[in-house]
Amino acid sequence: MINQMTNMQQRLFSGFIAAILTLMLIFFSQAPAFKVISTLLIALIIAVAIWEFYQIAYAKNFYPAAKLGITTSVLYTISVGLSTQYPIFHLLPDIVLLASLIAFFLYYFIKGQEPFLNLATTIFSFVYLAIPLSCLVSITYYFSQSGAQDGRWWIAYLLITTKITDTGAFLIGKRFGKQKLAPFISPQKTWEGALGGLIFALVTSILITLTASLVGGAFSLTFVQSIWLGAGIGILGQCGDLSESLLKRDGGIKDSNQLPGLGGMLDMVDSLVFTTPLVYIFLKAYT
């Protein structure tokens, strides 16, 4: 059935299913039994995205320490989850980060296969994907359950605003796009689409802020903050998309995987790579 759909129908269908599953994940994320599941699911998403990143590296004849890179990324994400729940583990992510860096070097002490390029690729996968995307866990559990704010509102704000940016850029670019944004990286992207994505992000950020204030949601963002944070998400979300396109273009790969209507996990999370740390930094600075 999915194979008989048009590309647009596949995108809509797959996007709808992904949105439902994501909303369920967010809704149940604060349940004690589900905190472990939520963290492990995010770790799985990061692991799959890193695996797809390595496929691009293989296309360039690079040979990163794939198993080690994926394992350490999962351990790092779990360590972040533990640090949000138990104060005793507040240094665990830093310890895992240091141990991972040492492990990467030890691997190439033994392996010795073009260590400069392959070690750099392995470390880059960790910095590019594991560290920023693990902030999804940090945001979800940033506030205590007895606090005035709820991390579920913030993670929903991040995901909705980022993905609406993608949607706005796609729709406006497809309808009105003429001036190429980065023709050597992604020929289909236009300045008109980029502006559309930014406007969609601003409107979405403001609407979520107003909705939270009307329904009494555990979410505190001033009108001015909603404008500049929404703008930041609108800009950085598209930068994340272009960054992945840059890597795929260099590797000669169109989609990071073959999930119908979605491409791959890396294609799904690319726009979150920069926006997730942005929101986490905002929370650290203003809450």
Q: Does a structural domain hold residue 2?
A: no
Residue 261 has pLDDT above 70, yes or no: no
Q: Does a structural domain hold residue 8?
A: no
Quote the domain boundaries for residue 78.
Answer: 31-141
Q: Does a structural domain hold residue 266?
A: yes
Is residue 229 located within the same domain as residue 254?
yes
Domain count, the chain: 2
Q: Can you list the alpha helix ranges (DSSP code H) found in the chain?
A: 7-28, 32-59, 66-85, 92-111, 115-125, 131-133, 135-140, 151-176, 191-215, 223-251, 265-269, 272-286
Residue 11 has pLDDT above 90, yes or no: no
What is the average pLDDT value for the chain, to the nearest integer? 90
> What was the pLDDT predicted at 7?
55
pLDDT digits (tens, 9 = 90+) for 196-254: 999 999 999 999 999 999 988 789 999 999 999 999 999 999 999 999 999 999 998 87
Cβ contacts of 36 within 8 Å, gap of 6 or more: 81
What is the rounded distance in angstroms from the CA atom of residue 190 to the CA atom of residue 23? 31
> What was the pLDDT predicted at 1?
47
pLDDT digits (tens, 9 = 90+) for 29-78: 888 888 999 999 999 999 999 999 999 999 999 999 999 999 999 999 99
Please tell me the pTM assigned to this model. 0.92
**Which of 87, 122, 141 is the last residue before a domain boundary?**
141
